Chains A and B, each alone.
Chain A
Amino acid sequence: MADEFIKGLGIFTAAGLGWMILAGWYRTPSFESQEQLVSPVSLGDSATMFDTLGVMLMDAFFWFTIIGALTFWVVIPVIRQAREKLQERAQ
């Protein structure tokens, strides 16, 4: 169980850090604004391929943070418990 927890926590913090940095570039108009990290993405005309890649990577990090942590903290333990229960019932 502890191993699963640290895997989930590692994904949550590492991917969350990556998302935070990219959102600091693409979803933060100013560090004095009321909407930091969550304001809508606005890519100007001068956006290069790297900016497009960065926005894509930002979304990938975001969903990896949520789905990865949920997988190790919820889905895998649930599957294991269900399997144990099924085996108990079979015996």
Chain B
Amino acid sequence: MTMAVTKLRVEDKLYHNRYLVDPGRPHIKVRPHEKPSPNLLALTRVCPAKCYELNDAGQVEITPDGCMECGTCRILCEASGEIEWNYPRGGFGVLFKFG
């Protein structure tokens, strides 16, 4: 219940933002894994756009459409190889109106 309410709240926030999504080219990927490391698991809570979620099998999945490109996940999980992080192609991704 709490999860659902939180999820709704983040989506309400992201709704105000402008994005140009690059279809079929996610700029962040999660490497297939059996069990997430503590840092990867933390992303399900720490990602400010709530892009990371736990699936039924207990693995972390990403939907980067609402990503604000802050880089928090890169700082926490790129070095270990758990995620692959790139910039979106030029012009794509979040477009801050105010910033």
Are A and B bound to each other? Answer: no
Name A's B-contacting residues (CB within 8 A).
none
